[in-house]
Structure 1
Amino acid sequence: MPAKTSRRNRPAVRLWRWRRNALRRHSDVVEAWIVLGVWLLVLVGGAVAGLVTARTVDSDLAARRARAHPVSAVVTDVTPVTPAATSARDDGRMWVAVRWTDAAGSVHQARTRMLPDALTGTRLTVWTDGADRVVAKPLGRTEAAVQAALTGVLFGPLAAGTIWAGGRLLRAGLVRRRLTEWDEEWKRVGPEWRKLSGGRG
């Protein structure tokens, strides 16, 4: 019964590509460096990708927040919502026509969605952009920071997984190449080996 490998010797076995030995080939050294490089890219690249994504999302949300500003408007018309026009994401909201006056005294009209308790003449706050178009209410600083962080947390592992998958494909190519080299060498050495072993194998 073969002796069991002690735990103390296992690290040396795992790191055999980094140690000088008769079985190590140049392709083994290349593979070792690729594995090390891939893991570094997975750790560092994933973290950097997550941070960059979070900052990009936060900057985009901040730009939207800067372009939008609230105005006081009045409901001028209420459009009833029919069952056929509703959907699971409507939340019971309906379209209403609103009118507001900007700082220069110009009157604007648009349509927006609000809860069904709106009546003609109801005053409400709508958000508009630089072209006086009604836009969705922008996220606050805290909400934007949370969304940016969650996006970064989700994208970081995705980027790391992509890097790891690319490294696996590259390593698989090296393994196939090494097997081909072994096959070619065995074709040269095999006949001599069988002669030395008396025809066995």
Structure 2
Amino acid sequence: MRTSRKFWRWRRNPLKRGTDRAEAWAVLISGLLLVVGAPLAGVATGMSVAASGPRLPADWYSVSAVLTQKAPAPAPADEVSRSDQVRATVEWRTADGSRRRGLAWVMPNTPAGRHTIVWLDGTDRIRDSPHRGLQMRALAFGTLAATGTAALATAGFVLVHVRLARRRESQWDREWREVGPKWRPHRT
């Protein structure tokens, strides 16, 4: 019958030392930090950054607008534009039912008739989305927090493993100094 190697760190064994138990706990804790702690740290940080963003003015609101014509191709790098969007003409209905037109940021080459969300102020003028920069910042800080937590968990495990290996070696040296002379053949 073959023995399983899956949970060898947790099996009972009369030869298992305290350093082996400590290393088993270090593996478990660092694994939990990597699998559960890092994602939680990233999500919590991202949500915190998003929640701490600037508040919208009270008269701003979002509406669904329709592109009236196909959006242009991406602008050359030397022109003033956003890196991933172009301006295109959109049409929307105001609260009183009248139609309005204006320029909004959309993805390049978006076909006419496609719906997009635009932000309007109290005078029904198009404003830049207040969430655009905030979402990217929240994603960046969340990623950094998750990566940092994973790095700390890994570095902590490596530090514990190295210290336990040194302790194990010193214990083996000490025990060998006691037992070694008994095993040597006596010379007469």
Distance 2:161 2:55 in 1: 46
CA contact (8 A) 2:37 2:149 kept: yes
Residue of structure 1 in register with 2:138 after alignment: 148
Distance 2:57 2:24 in 1: 52
How many percent of aligned residue pairs carry the same amino acid? 37
CA RMSD of aligned residues (A): 3.5
Residue of structure 2 in register with 1:180 after alignment: 170
Question: Which structure shows the higher helix fraction?
Answer: 1
Q: 2:34 aligns with which of 36, 42, 49?
A: 42
CA contact (8 A) 2:45 2:145 kept: yes
User: Could you list the per-position Cα deviations for residues 15-47 of structure 1 after superposition, in whole angstroms to 9, with x for gaps in the alignment?
Assistant: 433222343112211111111111111222101
Tell me the secondary structure at the aligned position of residue 18 of structure 1.
coil
Residue of structure 2 in register with 1:190 after alignment: 180
In the TM superposition, residue 194 of structure 1 has moved relative to its aligned partner by 1.8
User: Could you list the per-position Cα deviations for residues 59-95 of structure 1 after superposition, in whole angstroms to 9, with x for gaps in the alignment?
Assistant: 122xx2447999xxxxxxxxxxxxxxxxxxxx88xxx
CA contact (8 A) 1:65 1:139 kept: no
Counterparts of 1:162-177 in structure 2 under 5 Å? Answer: 162-177=152-167
Distance 1:138 1:57 in 2: 20
Matched, 1:161 2:151: yes
In the TM superposition, residue 184 of structure 1 has moved relative to its aligned partner by 0.4
Distance 2:21 2:128 in 1: 54
Counterparts of 1:27-176 in structure 2 under 5 Å? Answer: 27-61=19-53, 64-66=54-56, 140-176=130-166
In the TM superposition, residue 142 of structure 1 has moved relative to its aligned partner by 4.9
Closer, same or farther: CA 188–153 of 1 in aligned 2, 3 Å: same
Closer, same or farther: CA 153–16 of 1 in aligned 2, 3 Å: same
Structure (1 or 2) with the larger CA radius of gyration: 1
Distance 2:162 2:128 in 1: 48
TM-score normalized with structure 1 length: 0.51
5+ residue gaps in structure 1?
1-7, 71-90, 93-136
Q: 1:23 aligns with which of 5, 11, 15?
A: 15
Tell me the secondary structure at the aligned position of residue 184 of structure 2.
helix
In the TM superposition, residue 179 of structure 1 has moved relative to its aligned partner by 0.9
In the TM superposition, residue 147 of structure 1 has moved relative to its aligned partner by 3.5
In the TM superposition, residue 138 of structure 1 has moved relative to its aligned partner by 7.9
CA contact (8 A) 1:54 1:152 kept: yes
TM-score normalized with structure 2 length: 0.54
Distance 1:19 1:170 in 2: 21
In the TM superposition, residue 156 of structure 1 has moved relative to its aligned partner by 0.7
